[in-house]
Structure 1
Amino acid sequence: MTNDSAGYYQFVISFECNRSRATVSKFSQSLYIDRGLVASVQTISNNSSVVNIYPNPVNNTASVNIKATQSAEAQMTIIAVTGQVISTQIVSLNAGQNTVNINTASLEKGTYILRLTQNQQVTIKRFIK
């Protein structure tokens, strides 16, 4: 933000990974910024899961390695960079190392995002088909 005065500002949430950029929210959002004193700072813990996808680029099957800190169900969603949800599945994770194979044969060539949601925490990884 370059303007440091109080008021409403428009923003679009996006992220960048390995020089590829993806937009998380399709529409700009309005946020009121007040230049008051900082009342508190909240520390946000790291995600409870460590996620890796291989091979990357994927072929017909991708293996997703998930290191979970506790046993729980998680939701795995594949999203095109356009924001279109391609597939969603629920997986059961055990504490420790887990491997989930996903069928990527029907995906067109391109860049995709794997979103893993577990215990209200989200981990996002990019992969290429």
Structure 2
Amino acid sequence: MHTKHRVIASSVKEPPPGLWSNCVVVGEVVYVSGMTARGPDPEVILGSDEYTQAKVIFQKIEDLIEAAGGRMNDVVKMTIYVTRIARNTEVWRARKEFFSGDFPACTLVEVSSLAKPEILLEIEAIAHIGCSAAL
């Protein structure tokens, strides 16, 4: 039986206790909560466009997965929430800077809003540590 444990990356601000975990690992599977482009000060959003915010978010996801012992190409599934679906190519452009080989399965959903009006996208990810070794 596998146990669940939280993983923390020093570069990714954790939410206050009792809300959620940014990253949880069960066995070799890593679950990353929806990440936004909030900075160290949660009132500050890093980037004013989808490309810049996506780069910030993918870096957070990479930092969390590496803290869990994996690498970005271990990501098998992402769900991306955007407020302007017509700008999805900017998200894909940023994604190409973090992935190679077979890209993860992905769901893209347009939503009317996220936690703050300046937040343009939120991305969650599931990774399976070690699965990219054969790529």
TM-score range, shorter chain: under 0.3
Q: Which one has the largest radius of gyration?
A: 1
Structure (1 or 2) with the greater helix fraction = 2
Q: TM-score, normalised by structure 1?
A: 0.26
Q: TM-score, normalised by structure 2?
A: 0.25
